[in-house]
Amino acid sequence: MDSTIASLSTPKWNVDRPFLTGRFHTEGKGFSVDSFSAGVDKPIGLYHAAIQELILIDDLLYDLVGIEGRYTSIRRIRGKDDSVTFQVDASMDLALQASIFLGFLFPESAKRLFPLCESYLLINQFVESRSQFKTGLVNHAFAAALRALLLDYQAMVAQLEHQFRLGKLSIQGLWFYCQPMMGTMQALSIVIKKALANNFIGSAVLNLLQSQAKAMAGDHVVRSLLEKMSHRASQAYLGILERWVYEGVIDDPYGEFFIAENKALQKESLTQDYDAKYWQQRYSLKDDIPSFLANAAETILTTGKYLNVMRECGHNIQVPVAESSKLTTVGSNHRYLECIKTAYDFASGELLNLIREKYDLMGKLRSIKHYLLLDQGDFLVHFMDIAREELVKKPDEISVEKLQSLLDLALRSSSAVADPCYEDLTCCVERTTLLKRLSTLKDLQTTQTVYSSSGLEEPVSITGLETFSLSFKVCPMALIPRDLKKSIDKIPADISVLEPNSHVMHNRLQTAKSIDEVIQYHDFYLEKCLRECLLLSPVLLKKLEKMKFICLQYAAAVPNMITDSTKTEPSYVDKYKKLKLRTRSQTMKVAPEDAKTIESILNFEREFAGELQSLGPILSSSSGAEPYLTHLAQWLLGVGRE
């Protein structure tokens, strides 16, 4: 809440001078017979019964508008700040006292007259307290509706007083005219007591009014009144909702709206962290949602997000609003839901057209496939050759600017130069390896907690070869959930997995009718690729990491094993190929230096083959839950038999 709004408050004199607010009676000492001495000659019991009735009617007319009479008093109930009770002079005729507290036509129903006065006081106090700035727009609107009702009530009391001055009003007549107001005032006082007890604001007030209206289904008059109050109170709330679904702007000075805005999150964070939570956390749903909007809450949230995305991209698009489409009421015809659905369809369609036409969604995806999925990987071979000296350094020692220059050089000297988006390809050096980065993919529907205890430890010393990665600039499309920069550039290329899945996604995107379908197809593609590339199984990753480590050891050992021999025997490589095919007994007959080399190679082979064969049972046991592992398991078992 802004500091300017927070500083606004009811003037102090409005509290210091309770006579101006109708709460003066709460500050007094209550009724006492002695208190009559200043304003009256004698207790009411000394008058004739007919005179007592006239005095009592006059006092009751005052009581009905919250003012103490000469022989009636208002006292606060101890321990209940918002509750008061009325008392009368004990010397009053018992028949008149009964007429105050009991209904005339049906004494057994014990209908009280003073509760109407008490309800008026409570409602009036609520109007005064909830008109303060800090109570929010919904309470302001509700208080205004109650104030209008109290004006009608006061007009009724004024008419009764006029009849009394004409000598045409009796106790029975007073009860007769007040009785229709008893039910409505009592129902409103129940609502107000609950609102005051729980200090409700915003959505809670609307939910309370609607629940009470449903509870009074048997009383048409009271239910209609509560529905009218709910309608009046919701107009301010619908004004906030209208700006959100039609403009993508939250105009909520008192924090009443059910969508929260985290202004600390900025779209610029997407350029620094691919896993930024801008889309998920910049705007989010609160727990307190109006019941009449509960089923449409997600649609409302998404609609405003779409409009906000376009505004952040520099396109101030506003949903066209006809006079009949304004959100001014929440009647039983549910027309407001149709307006929300129309706004959602418009926002989704406009955003889809924007990323398809202006930002060339399909072209960006083709470029991502070329570079990140190595559909055209000749540039990468050239880059790895010219950047090897830089990549073998530790991550902290690598110059990213130099790597970017070498990458640009490799792109310009390869077939990638024909791609109009080749300049959007950038490189970066992470501080952790791929295995560590996989544990950050928390927003996909996977159980990433396994990685922390799966034994996948990073090497003690890592170089740029393990931490180098490519990125592709997709902003401002990065504002869209599951932004295309995220996750997809972390998938190691496996053509047998990526190519068919890319083809399926491409065909689906061509027929997408909304941005939600684009998001759905893209999510499905990412998760399917991650799973089929075995990146979501800690056990399989551990095996693959071990096999990769064996291959790296073998690649590092072979040059050292053959260097000395090739100096004296240029044809050693051909001889090595023949010796490699011999049995162990045949190998023992070769020269000692050759036998040592061949034994080392066989050790690598046995270790690698053992790890490869151990994959078979793991894949077979997992193929039930993951069918795509069946073919791989059969292939590995076939290799083992050969």
- Contact of 365 with 399, CB cutoff 8 Å: no
Residue range 3-15: mean pLDDT, rounded? 57
Which DSSP category does 591 fall into? -
Closest CA to 235 of 205, 196, 260: 205
3-state secondary structure 157-215: HHHHHHHHHCCCCCHHHHHHHHHHHHHHHHHHHHHHHHHHHHCCCCHHHHHHHHHHHHH
Closest CA to 535 of 543, 522, 504: 543
Residue range 20-46: mean pLDDT, rounded? 52
pLDDT of the residue at 154: 94
pLDDT of the residue at 86: 73
497 half-sphere exposure, CB direction, 13 A CA radius? 20
pLDDT of the residue at 189: 93
Rounded Cα distance between 547 and 535, Å, is 15
Q: Distances in Å between the alpha carbon of 241 and those of 225, 373, 590, 619? A: 24, 43, 86, 52
Could you report the per-residue pLDDT of 416-426, keeping only the tens digit for each?
Answer: 788 888 888 88
Q: What pLDDT band is residue 430 in, cutting at 50, 70 and 90?
A: confident
Average of per-residue pLDDT values in the chain: 75
Mean pLDDT comparison of 77-81, 240-244, 335-339, highest-scoring range = 240-244
Neighbours of 116 (CB within 10 A): 22
Neighbours of 288 (CB within 10 A): 15
Could you report the per-residue pLDDT of 558-573, keeping only the tens digit for each?
Answer: 777 665 555 445 444 5
Neighbours of 525 (CB within 10 A): 23
More confident residue, 360 or 434: 360
pLDDT at 138 over 90: yes
| Poorest-pLDDT segment among 192-201, 493-502, 587-596 | 587-596
pLDDT at 398 over 60: yes
| Poorest-pLDDT segment among 61-70, 214-223, 387-396, 591-600 | 591-600
Closest CA to 362 of 478, 508, 482, 189: 508
pLDDT of the residue at 264: 79
Rounded Cα distance between 195 and 640, Å, is 74
- Contact of 238 with 256, CB cutoff 8 Å: no
Rounded Cα distance between 637 and 642, Å, is 9
Residue range 27-42: mean pLDDT, rounded? 46
Joined together, the tokens standing for residue 571 give 């044809």
pLDDT of the residue at 520: 85
pLDDT of the residue at 618: 73
Q: Distances in Å between the alpha carbon of 108 and those of 94, 112, 562, 573? A: 17, 11, 113, 115
CA distance between the termini of the chain:
72
Joined together, the tokens standing for residue 7 give 């500083």
pLDDT of the residue at 451: 44
Backbone angles phi, psi at 12, to 5 degrees: -65, -30
Phi/psi-derived region of residue 314, left when phi > 0, alpha when psi is between -120 and 50, beta in every other case:
left
| Poorest-pLDDT segment among 62-71, 75-84, 286-295, 565-574 | 565-574
Rounded Cα distance between 294 and 594, Å, is 78
Rounded Cα distance between 69 and 46, Å, is 17
